[in-house]
A and B are shown apart, each in its own frame.
Chain A
């Protein structure tokens, strides 16, 4: 207790120095929080943007097969796998749209509108009209609608590879955030697609979403295992996009590197300043030792100083970091659409603060050890 009281008084008696050390620590923590939170949110936003409306693990027919049969039982089997959040059957087949002299190669996607909602959020992403409610309706993408000057209620002729022509009516126009998808996909009811391609009750793929895009490879293995001997192949987003994942991993690693080095420089700074305070306070420590303070109590004075500086610096740093980050996101979103959300990970903030306190206490170990060696007789002799 006496060590704590002395530590507190030492800090209070040199307010300017205390404030400067705390501010040094605070700026370090603020930068660490800013960089960490920014990159985390950027990555999350980026991932959401890229994979939010995409199938994570997809079941296709085996190479020499065209269709998946008995799909209801397969869908039910996949639904029970841990980490799978949505399962949706699909019928996909290419077709041509001919309008006047113009012809567009497109992909007819037959979806179960209810189940597909969990993946594609079609209700939300349809900005004009509605999703198809009967077998003759079709949802077209923004770019295709512009290209063919289509609007809700217009008719659309498609020619299948077997040279059959079908007329569909535009029920709505969607935007899934990707021009390629918007240009190429036209979305119909699954029953409609089944009848266009004469597939009976069969489908051509089962699409899913998972809780964690980073583990889609192992989820895919579980899906394959669950479907046992069926003639299927299972693809996953992670293996299909290796460059994307290596970029994300490098970004994550660089973020940790920056955070680590920022913290390291802060710790070294505190350790060196506290080392100097041992010299500054050597006279006081000598007097205290002459009065009977034990070496361990003398060391504790410096540990407590480190701890108090750490707590003060951490609180200031967390606040500063949060303000900095929030301000940055506000400025960013005021200048246009931003994929970085301003949401805070409270655990990350608390962890950063905790690390700062621990690091600061660790930084005071060296001066604490140094203070043990201080001999009171040196101080007494030299006045």
Chain B
């Protein structure tokens, strides 16, 4: 299998009044179609690592390849296109646009790329909303939905452009046990159905144990890399 993520000697230093190094020479490869978790304590650097993979943050040193493309040398516009077309994000705080309905939020990445929607993509958005169980509330503004519903809308949004890689930062961090379980099963189902690669940052041991591979980050280094 080809590598979806290939990082070599990646370091991250935040400069300012005090220089803080949060990542130290990270080497990491993630296979296409795999389902991985990234665990570690708060401040361990796992979110920074995820953000560098997601091109939201830049490595201070080292090379980053996503789906065979070097991202550390791309321009801002190239990165924006890559994020739009190849990456899907699911954040802890869902980050839906409050001015738009669930359905419009789901369609937004497509709209950014194409400027307008087609009946096919609208059908796909409806299918995805059905998949995440939001048929009944899809025309509600995101502020008119429960936390779990919002998180599931964010998952549907991450899927709309058929991304190769989905990066999830604590996707269940704010959800109760039952909802956490349903979100996990949803991600797993998508992984199996579409062959989408997943990298999930989580605090939840139970979630981590159910992934194919656990990558543990401690003090900016990969301390443990476990295939379950």
Shortest Cβ gap from A153 to chain B (Å) = 84
B residues less than 8 Å from A297 (CB atoms): 112
Contact partners of A295 in chain B: CB under 8 A: 76-77, 80
Give per-residue flags for A354-383: 1 if the beta carbon is below 8 A from chain B beta carbons, else 0: 000000000000000000000011011101
In this assembly, does B85 line the interface, its C-beta being within 8 Å of a C-beta of chain A? Answer: yes
Instruction: Give the contact stretch, choosing among A76-84, A258-266, A284-292, A335-343.
Output: A284-292
> In whole angstroms, how far apart are the Cα atoms of A383 and B96 in the complex?
11
A380 in contact with B56 given A1-B115, A2-B115, A294-B77 (CB within 8 Å):
yes
Bound-complex Cα distance A295 to B203 (A):
33
Asked if B112 and A2 make an inter-chain contact with CB atoms under 8 angstroms apart, the answer reads yes
Q: Which of B83-103 contact A (CB under 8 A)?
A: 83-85, 87, 89, 91-93, 95-100
Q: Is B41 an interface residue (CB 8 A)?
A: no
A334 at interface (Cβ–Cβ under 8 A)? no
Tell yes or no: A13 within 8 A of B by CB: yes
Q: B99 to A13, Cβ gap below 8 A? A: yes
Contact (Cβ within 8 A) A284 B115? no
Q: Are A291 and B57 in contact (CB under 8 A)?
A: no
A contact residues around B157 at 8 Å (CB): 291
Is the C-beta of B66 less than 8 angstroms from some C-beta in chain A?
no
Give which listed residue, B56, B81, B100, contacts A290 with CB less than 8 A.
B56
A383 and B82 CA atoms in complex are apart in Å by 23
A326 at the interface (CB under 8 A from B): no
Q: Is the interface of A mostly helix, strand, loop or mixed?
A: helix
Given contacts A376-B56, A377-B57, A380-B56, contact A290 B89 (CB under 8 A): yes
- Nearest Cβ on chain A to B48's Cβ, whole angstroms: 9
Interface assignment of B116: CB less than 8 Å from any CB of chain A: yes
Residues in A neighbouring B96, C-beta threshold 8 A: 287
B113 at the interface (CB under 8 A from A): yes
- Partner of A292 from B85, B91, B99, B116 at Cβ < 8 Å: B85
**Contact flag A290-B95 (CB < 8 Å), given A295-B77, A376-B56:** yes
Q: What CA separation (Å) do A1 and B112 show in the bound complex?
A: 9
Contact A9 B92 (CB under 8 A): no
Residue pair B95, A287 in contact (C-beta under 8 Å): yes
Contact A292 B84 (CB under 8 A): yes
Chain B residues closer than 8 Å to A289, beta-carbon distance: 80
Which residue in chain B gives the minimum CB-CB distance to A13? Answer: B99
Whether A290 pairs with B83 at a CB distance below 8 angstroms is yes
Which B residues contact A (CB, under 8 angstroms)?
Answer: 47, 51, 54, 56-57, 76-77, 80-85, 87, 89, 91-93, 95-100, 108-109, 111-113, 115-116, 157, 169
